[in-house]
Amino acid sequence: MLLFFVACAASPDNAPLLVDTVPYRDGEVLVSVAGDGVAQMGLEDDYGVAEVDRSDEIAVVRLGFDAERPVRDVLAELEGDPRVRFVEPNHLVRGYGLSSDAYVGYQWNLPAVGASEAWGHTTGKGVTVAVIDSGLRTGGPDGITHVGTGWDFYDQDADPKDGNGHGTFVAGTIGQTTNNGTGVAGLAHDATILPIRGLGDDGSGDMAAIANGLVWSVDSGAQVVNMSLGSAYASRTLESACDYAYAHGVTVVAASGNEYATQLSYPAAYESVIAVGAVGRGGNRAGYSNRGTGLDFVAPGGDLSKDEDGDGYADGILQETVEDGAWTYTFWEGTSMAAPHVAAAAALLVADGASGPDEVVELLAATAHDRGAAGYDTSYGYGAIDVGAALAARAGGVTAPDEPAPEEETSTVPTVDRTPPQIRDVSAVTQGRKFTVQWVSDEPATTWVDFTTYGAYGDDTLTTSHALSLTGSTGSTYYFTLRSTDASGNTAASTTYYIRL
């Protein structure tokens, strides 16, 4: 549905200015075509673009053009065409991990998530975890025991070799060889790691590569996917891929981001993804970890600025990886380090018989250690995961930590609120370059206007009456959706509107 807002009143003088500062690939856009191949060929002929690749599973095609041609001009041309469902830049993404000097220390993170208790139930055998990252380097002194045949969506070849170290580190937290008398351990060490390279050696990539890698992972049999990466900019292409995974019963986990922001990065912010923030050794939110509505859990991410146990080592997460071309054991910190703990926990639960993402979330939420404000909150989500307790709860013998035991029940797995708020009564007032968008939700929720070209503007205050004032450019047309997220992290998105100034 398209709604054209006409000028009728003024909005505040201090409204933020829309500025095109979004990082994306030059010379290409991502398009969902409404129609068959004939419609796409017509678009290519009419606008001087050509197919680079496509993902039929989520109905998105990547169209290329002369890199000297401004991306925003192509977006403006395609946005109003009835053959286009949506068009967006190919946003850049990056890994969320920070490294320090290499040394051998303690993996305090494993007892923090109940690893020993979990291993009494399962070690993840039979489950495949796709790690979409900078790839995987094999052959280290410790290594990963079970590795599947992956793919490189960054360079489009069959060799997802890691030239950065980030992906190898993340994969090790999940599947590092354990009980071999060497090095360090992995939380789900008998799971199979499916390496997907979506980030280059510099640790950055783009939405198309990540989305294609996610769809390929699902089609290749992964039951769990970890994405320790993200962007501040939403992508309907990547959201479609996340929804595709969820619809196929795949549990997708992503890092919340390292900007200490009050909004989650993407893809963590999507409803079909489990969003993970980071805590330090003491259990408090790390000084870099993003928070916000939609955050599901926190897990050990490390804090290299502290040595809370006084052992002489900074409290990072220890894993084997490659730095400067050499194998090493090193401490890193970041929500990138936190996310694979949850992905590994999901793998253990799936190996134990959990049926998919909804049951994984319910079990982890029931047994998480509450942090921050009582109950769910936007800094810690449902709390810090305890996969040992989650597996015990699934067996019916343990109640949720930090809660009194029920008198007659043997399981405390709750029903998680999955109902998104309803957006209604949308209206707007404009005058010249200024405009205010307003709507109402049926329960307290956040206020965000998500522009196709410029990204999201808004705040995380929970309210039922929503208004956002902005300043654009006279003569311009802006396409956007409205988004509101309730206290349980359920997100509602409107249909696409446009406003012409």
Catalytic residue set: 133, 166, 336
Task: Give CA–CA dist 309/18, Å, rounded.
Answer: 47
Residue 283 is encoded by which pair of tokens?
């259990």
Which has the closest alpha carbon to 228: 130, 154, 161? 130
Parallel, antiparallel, or unpaired for β 192-197 and 128-133? parallel
Q: Counting Cβ atoms within 10 Å, is residue 156 exposed (0-12), middle (13-18) or buried (19+)?
A: exposed
Contact between 481 and 495 under an 8 Å Cβ cutoff? The reply is: yes
Task: Give CA–CA dist 453/345, Å, rounded.
Answer: 37
Parallel, antiparallel, or unpaired for β 84-95 and 24-33? antiparallel
Contact between 497 and 490 under an 8 Å Cβ cutoff? The reply is: no
Task: Give CA–CA dist 108/315, Å, rounded.
Answer: 8
Sequence-separated (6 or more) residues with CB below 8 Å from residue 190:
123, 124, 125, 145, 146
Parallel, antiparallel, or unpaired for β 224-227 and 128-133? parallel
Beta pairing partners, 320: 329
Task: Give CA–CA dist 154/151, Å, rounded.
Answer: 9
Contact between 3 and 480 under an 8 Å Cβ cutoff? The reply is: no
